[in-house]
Every structure is written in C-alpha cells, then in structure tokens.
Structure 1
C-alpha cells in the first residue's frame, strides 16, 4: 500500500509508532429480519440480557478504575450508565420488537438512528454533540448482541518490531479507553473529536499521543497498517517509507531522552534566568492525584476539582457525598501535600459535567444553572461542602475557590454562606482556619471586565482559560464541528488575560492561570511576559513548563509580549509567539 498522510487536530503531544488496530462500528452491518410471534418475548429477553451485560461491564470498569486513571473517566462512564438506563434506550427498542417484530439489533439501531436524527435538529451545539454518547452506548450493546466485542490482543504479523498498538476508530468512549491502558497501546486516532472532547482530555491525562477530528481515518487506514502519529501537529502517516520511519524513530528516542532529563528538574526551584521566582502548582481531581503532583515537584495544589467526588455515584441510595465523605477526601489531599497549599474549588457541575444526565434539561447547559449558580440554589448542599472544606483547613493550608462568578451579589451571597458555615462549625466546636483565603475563578468575560468588584471582596483570583476562551469566542469547546475556532491566541482572549493579570497585580491580589493554557509550553513565555507568576496544571505538564521557565529571561520576553498584545492579525501573533520561544 502506498504511503499517505492525514491531517487532524493535535490534542496530546508526542510521537507514537505502531500497527493499526481498527475498532469497527458494530452498527454498520447488523442483521435485519422479522421475529415470529412465538419468539418475540425471547427476542425481548435477548436485548434485555445485552443491556444487563453492558450495565455490569460499565459498573465493573467503574469499580476497578486504577488509582492512576484520570478522574474524568469515572464521570464519563457514569454518563453512559445513565444513558443506558434511560427509557428511550432501555424500553423503546423493546416496544419496537413487540410492535414491529424487528430482531433485537435492528430494533436498537432503529431507535439509535431516530434519537440521532432528533439530536441533529437541536440548535444548541452542546446538546447536539451528546449524540455521540448515545451512539457509543448503542455500539457497546450491539457488540454484545452480535458477539463482536473488540479484543486488544497484540496485532501484527510482521517479525519486525514496529512498536505499540495504535487504536483507530470513528470514536472511542472513555470507558473503552481503559482496556487499552494496560496493553501495548501507544496512541489513538479518531474521526471525531476536538481539542477539548472527552477523548482529548483522557489522552492528555494519560500522556498518550493522539490525533482526533480526522474525518475518515477509520475507513482509509486498514488493519495492521504501520502508522505514525505526530501528536504535536495532529498528523498521521500511514505506511511510511523506511527513511521517514527512521526519522520519526529518532525523534521518538530523543523525546524519551528529553523526558529523562526533565526528571532532574523536580527539586529545582522554578526561577527565570534573570532571577524571577514562578510558582508551579498542580490541578487534581481526587486525593490520589497528590502523589504524582508531589513527584513532579508541585509546590501545591492550585485547583482541586471537587465535582469528581459528586460524580460516578450511580446506583447509590444517597447520590450526593455526605459532609463527612467530602471532609475525608479534602483532608486526605491536605495531608498528602505535607504543608503545601491546597486550593479547593467548590462544586462546578453543569455544561459538560452534568451531575445527573437524566436531569440535564437546560437548552444550553453551558449558559445555564452551573457552578456557583447551581450551588446558590441548593444552599444545604453548598453549606455541607463549605463546612467540609473549612474542617479540612484545620489540617494544613487550604484556599477556597468559587467558580463562574460574574455578579457582585453572587460574590456577596457566597461570602455570606461561607460565614454561615463558619458560624455552624463554631457552634459545634469544630476547628477550622478562621482566616481561610477565598478566591474567584475568572472564566466569564463579564468577570474579567469588572475586576474592581472582585479584588475589593476577595483574596486571590484564578483564571480558568478553558471556559474564558469558550465564552469569549461563543463556541462549544466540546463540539468538533467548531473545534477549529477554539483559539487561545485570539486577540480578545489575550486582552482579557493580560487585563486580568495587570489589574490583579495593581491591586496586590495574587492571580494564577489554571486552565489548559497553563500547561501549554508554547504559551509559557507569553504568559510570563504578561506578568503571570503562578501556573497550575496537570502534573504531567509540570516539568516541561518548569524547563521553559528556567530558560526564560523576562527582560527579553516582556517587550515581545507587549508587541503581541498590540497585534490584531492572527499571523502576526503566531509569528511573535514563535519569536518568543526562540529567545
């Protein structure tokens, strides 16, 4: 077969070389036949049995999640369990078997296609993109019905040691990715997906090279093809000539050597060449993430995403974690960090992180009742979380971070609730830090443009670039159809960032960046040049960012950064950022 190249969206850097393992959609060629009257109930039972098997599979995957798995996987798996239990999936295909006498596979595909068509008609991009979750659940059931469940035994007939397994699929569910983790799995390629899709998030968390949004890779690449993924640029090379293969092997080996060198930076302080100290902290989802954060040299936790304690609780009588459960998790993280500060963000659910998929009814969840808006409508739940965080503050330095604030009254109500939680703990004679610092996430343009009301009321700020970019550019960051518009270097985004950093500095209020931009080494010097001195990121990104900090000279960077902030043409901004990286 002749060599060819495919171009997609880079979502997780690195080089992967291996043989293609195709995950073919089970729905492409199901059998269509009618069931005799006397066999209808047996066919209904066959479909119900398949549902039960998939339920057990998902629950087993959830229960056996490795400790080092990204916490997002639990939430994604939980969404699929909820979809599987929805009457539109769990009951309507049974009615189709009984009324139309379709075989189980045909009945299920008929309903999946009907739901998919309905989702295609939805104007809201976020809800329209949820079609993929329904199709992934349907795929899993069909694999049980057809006996075509994928196995990931090693592939490849060649005696040449090509390398890892490269999974190629139209789409990959987070649950399916777990079975790849302990195999010879070196990268993945999908037709669908964007830079902030579920698969992209998992790829970065697992630190695995990936390219998504390839459109038709799963139909062009054949089983056992030799494949190269260049995760830095989103390029896939299929059946490369020996010279190209050798070049990429050399690049791959160089990356491995570079990573080993990075390990020597763990204990070094993050100080620029001209002597400016920079704080590098870790983003975590669960207390177990503190170990990797400490190993990477984090000086603290800049973002503890508490919502993952609330998710993945399918089938439990009490869907929400109790105050004591939360307290134990927060305290475990505080103790694990051994005196380093831990910033705990209050519950941020909604948009792409629904607490319960079945209750997700907002026309546009990203603009609906999420984060602090949700918490203020559930005061008892919010108070329980605030008490749990305050109790944990008795065991080490804790900061409290409120997400998605945009209005003065939201800040005031949140602060009043914190005081109420303190009063309740005093009455119960429970210890806490009375001087705990309270901060705000700056992730809505309205917040970035009205900073005086924030710095007057709060102790620190943390910029959530993922949502700030989404809301500034009016695009759904999880929708692959508009993924190409998600641009951290858009002049409006850069203005809001620099404005926030400068205003916080003028007010003497600490400010950090905790979104994906903080861990992107291509942007480290730009952020330094804007005046940022505190970065929080996934632990896997810490050492590469530290290397950038150590090699930076602010006296050289700052003038170029100012030039970038004055620019309005995209190409001029990109060229100036490249100039920064060369300094």
Structure 2
C-alpha cells in the first residue's frame, strides 16, 4: 500500500530506488557491502559467531546453580532454539547472498524484519517474545564484534557498483547518519537518503547538499514505515518520501528525474567559461574538498583552486588512530600537485561539535559541544598534534601554492598562539634542513567576535574566509544540529548579513583577500546579494559551482547598484533582494 512520509527538504532533486534500512540497535552495527567473492567468507563469519554464542549459552546452562529458577534455564533454551532455527538462519544468510550485506548488517536487517512481525501479532504474550529475539541478535552482534573488531570497516565501502543482481538503484533509510559516514556516499551505490532526525542546517544535511544527493531529514517513523527492499521515491524539493508508489506516480517522478539531468547537462556546458559578469567583472570560483581525491571533481567543475580543504576528514573513521605527519604530508602534497599550480587552501583540523573524532567517547562531549573544545581551541590544546599538521602543510607547500586557514579563531591570545605555533614548526624544519615552502596565512571569520575585531585580525593575516555556517549559528545563538531550534537558523537575518557585508568591506579596504566558503557561497539565492556586498571570491562544493557560475554570467553588476543598502536596511532582507535580481538570457555554447 502506497504511503507518504513527510520530513524536511535539505537537498534538492529526486531519487528513486529500493530501500536499504540501517536498523537501530543497542549494539553498534557496522554497515558495509562485501564483494561477491567475499560472500562465502562472510557467511562463514556468521556461522562461526552463531556457534560461539550457542557454546556460551550452553556453558551458562551448565554453570547455573540448583536453586536457579527453572524459568531462567527455559529462557536460555529458547535463545539456543532461536539461534538454531534453520529458517531464520537461512533468511539471514540470504541478506548476504543477495544484497551483499556484511554479517552484522544481515543480522540487524533480519532482526528488523522479525520485530515487525512480532509487533503485528494480536496475542500480547507472543508480542512480548520480541525481546528474546532482540537479545539473541545482540549476543550475535557482540560475538561478531569480538571476532572481527580489528578489521571492522566504516559504514559503507566505496567502489561497489551495485548490491543486487537486477542493478536496482538503492536509497538509504536510517535514524541518522554521521557527517563522516556521509562522506562515504561519494561514488557509492546510494542515490539518496532519508533520516528520522536532523534539521536543514545540520552538518549532515549540508554535506548532502554539497554532494548533490537528494535527501529528506526529520522524517519521523521512516524506519518503522519503510520496509527493506520497498520501492521509495525521495522528493528532495518537497521533503516528501513516497513508499511503494503507484505506477503513475513512479513514472511522473522518473520524468522529473530526466528533466533534472537535462538541466545538469546544460550547466555542464559552462564548465570551460570564466565566471565573468555581463559588464565584465571577473569572479573567482573555488572548490571545497574533503579528501585529496576530490581535486579531480574540482578541476572537472572548472574550479580556479581549492578554497577549503577540510583536513579533519583525514582524521575520521580511523578507530582513534590519528594520521601522523608523513601521512598528512602525502595527502596534502597529492592535493597540491593534482591542482596543477592552482592555489590550495588547507584548513587546520576543525574537530568537535557535530564532527567528533572516533576516539572521542560520549563522555568527552560537553553539554554544548558547539561552544566547547573544537577547531583551533582543540589544536592549541594538543600542541604535538598541531605541530605535526603544520609541518605537513609547510612541507606540502614546496609542491605548489598553499594557503593555511585557521578555523574558529576569536581571541587575540589565539592569534598569538597560532602564529607562534607556525613559526616553531617552520623553525624546526629549517633546523632539520627539511624542504618546506612559504604559505599565506588566513583566518576563518565564523565567530561574531572575529568579525567585530577584524581590523586587528587583518594586521596578522594575509586573507580571511567567511564560514557562514558557523557564523550564523553563533550570531543567532542557535545550535544548528539541534532540531528544537533549527527553524530559527536564518542566513537572511539582518545581523548575519551586516557582519558579512562589513567583513567584506573592511578586508577589501585593507587590501586583504576575502572569500566566503560557507554554504551561502553555493546557494544561488545569495549570489547577487554577496556580489552587491563586493564579494569576488566564492568557494563551494564542486557540484554547486556550475549553477553559481550560471547566475554570475547572467548578472549585470550595474543592475545591483543599491541592492546592498536595501538589503541591509530591510526588516525582511530576503524580500528586499528579489527586485534587484534581473535574469538575462546568455548564449550557451553547444556541446562539441
């Protein structure tokens, strides 16, 4: 039966595919695909874990005292019986054989299917037996975890083309997905995703938009209403999830998919054109990347350099083992060399808040992590780690132009400590005779204190980059990862726009470079406004670059005269911005 689930639209577009559920469990479950040749080995892992749990339960039965209640022994017998149920064992193996799930995911998927059946039972006693199934599954998951902890991969392996013989596209349905796991979507089999929690401004939603993956978040009860392998439509424009759609609805959305692809193809033709306004003003378009391999997408999109290399993604999904100086150097060098002489801006590690390291446990988090030990504060609190990163960046600068960007700096003492750390790292390299290059030093403006004391910043830094995502949340005192207040996150807020406009104006007056690398840079609704503020350098995910370039090519700066004043003076800046945008028709070069 077809049904609709409503959530929040966070990434535009339409995705159609079979549902893959990441089931919730009290035990952490690794979700990834195995290669076809690994299926037999994975089934053997599952069988070995089942035998181990059976042996543990039998041992427990042997150890019980004579005065132990008979009900407890009977319960152990029930668990052994469930483990040895051939029908359920075969069904679990089927997830591995047909969908290429790893053993843990197969157990979780089968548990999800079974618990649904128990929930639908009318007999109360039988419904209560669901807990027995859950306990057995958790024992099995713990056994798999003990046996294979050392080589457990992240949530999804890259490079797997498909998991079904019929090559059906897949969409992911989960309670939530971490930002680090979201990065696994690059090149993965998933066409879109649905989560039960999250808001428009959570980091996960931002990553989804940057990767151009249709997504809906905050779709409550999605995991309960969607079943494994259901056909699902994700309408990322409307925040709608359609489960088991009718043929007519399916065809309508497939038509919308084709229209979206045609629009992307048209934008692709602009790749080789410089970003110049209709009246001849050149605008620099840079790319945000997470890993060295992303440089190929940046170049393919026509980026003129990397405006933000988020180095923290080198530190994630590593089971607590941080990359050493040499590993970082090789990663930065690869990115610099791949950009073929174009500048690469490397941001020092921005860990904390909604981007914790694996080695950080729940006990390491403060009550409000967004205001805790994160970004440059975390780096300065770990001098050895920070020195290793600075040395690696300085060494990579031998291979091409490198800009070093410091995140979330807000206090004069942090400026002094950061500059001292850079000079210490440089001094040690000189003393060792280790080759290194010159870097231009920049600061991210993402805390109101930094924006308000910008003249002091500009005395020490060569350039500034405005991180609008955090600047908005700190200006408005809103944790963008908190659903309860996410609706108050407003990039059009007059205070936010005033801080951005003043930062651009003061940086340009001082002769220092200024760019915007936050999400606003990749949002076409803000292109004209930012241009009217004087911004001439935008940095965004490569997938967003063609649409922003199209907007720039269609803009006449003369027509924006007065727009900045109107927007900054308005109670509703968004409405004030609309009359100033004058689309123009420009010739689009035909494909060769």
TM-score, with structure 1 as normaliser: 0.72
Which position in structure 1 is the counterpart of 2:197?
A: 192
Which position in structure 2 is the counterpart of 1:507?
A: 510
2:303 aligned with 1:301, yes or no? no
Which position in structure 1 is the counterpart of 2:61?
A: 38
Deviation of 1:238 (Å): 5.5
Contact 2:182 2:208 in 1 (8 A): no
Which position in structure 1 is the counterpart of 2:51?
A: none
Encode CA deviations 1:519-568: one digit per residue, 9 max, x unaligned. 12222222112211111111111112111111111112342343122112
Contact 1:21 1:224 in 2 (8 A): yes
2:376 aligned with 1:347, yes or no? no
Provide the rounded CA distance (Å) in 2 between the counterparts of 1:216 and 1:475.
26
Which position in structure 2 is the counterpart of 1:114?
A: none
Contact 1:274 1:553 in 2 (8 A): yes
CA change 1:404–1:332 in 2 (3 A) is same
Encode CA deviations 1:367-405: one digit per residue, 9 max, x unaligned. 122222222222233222222211211211111111111
Which position in structure 2 is the counterpart of 1:377?
A: 381
Encode CA deviations 1:465-507: one digit per residue, 9 max, x unaligned. 1111111121221223322222211222111111111111121
In terms of mean alpha carbon deviation, does 453-462 or 364-373 score higher? 364-373
CA change 1:17–1:386 in 2 (3 A) is closer
CA change 1:16–1:39 in 2 (3 A) is farther
Encode CA deviations 1:206-235: one digit per residue, 9 max, x unaligned. 422111112234445567766543313423
CA change 1:18–1:393 in 2 (3 A) is closer
Which position in structure 1 is the counterpart of 2:134?
A: 105
Deviation of 1:105 (Å): 3.5
CA change 1:402–1:235 in 2 (3 A) is same
2:569 aligned with 1:566, yes or no? yes
2:470 aligned with 1:467, yes or no? yes
Matches within 5 A, 1:52-63: none
- 2:416 is aligned, of 408, 412, 419, to 412
Encode CA deviations 1:309-338: one digit per residue, 9 max, x unaligned. 2333326xxx33222222222111111111
2:257 aligned with 1:252, yes or no? yes
Which position in structure 2 is the counterpart of 1:10?
A: 9
- 1:494 is aligned, of 486, 492, 497, to 497
Deviation of 1:109 (Å): 8.3
CA change 1:387–1:290 in 2 (3 A) is same
Encode CA deviations 1:420-446: one digit per residue, 9 max, x unaligned. 222222222233334x31110001011
Provide the rounded CA distance (Å) in 1 between the counterparts of 2:405 and 2:23.
44
Encode CA deviations 1:57-77: one digit per residue, 9 max, x unaligned. xxxxxxxxxxxxxxxxxxxxx
Provide the rounded CA distance (Å) in 1 between the counterparts of 2:411 and 2:322.
27
Contact 1:21 1:155 in 2 (8 A): no
CA change 1:166–1:362 in 2 (3 A) is closer
Provide the rounded CA distance (Å) in 2 between the counterparts of 1:481 and 1:287.
36
- 1:274 is aligned, of 279, 282, 290, to 279
Deviation of 1:183 (Å): 7.7
Which position in structure 1 is the counterpart of 2:435?
A: 431
Which position in structure 2 is the counterpart of 1:366?
A: 370
- 1:484 is aligned, of 483, 487, 491, to 487
Provide the rounded CA distance (Å) in 2 between the counterparts of 1:563 and 1:468.
22
Deviation of 1:417 (Å): 2.1
SS at match of 1:522: helix
Provide the rounded CA distance (Å) in 2 between the counterparts of 1:472 and 1:179.
31
Provide the rounded CA distance (Å) in 2 between the counterparts of 1:538 and 1:179.
16
Provide the rounded CA distance (Å) in 1 between the counterparts of 2:454 and 2:183.
42
Provide the rounded CA distance (Å) in 2 between the counterparts of 1:421 and 1:181.
34
SS at match of 2:279: coil
CA change 1:229–1:574 in 2 (3 A) is farther
TM-score, with structure 2 as normaliser: 0.71
Deviation of 1:17 (Å): 3.6
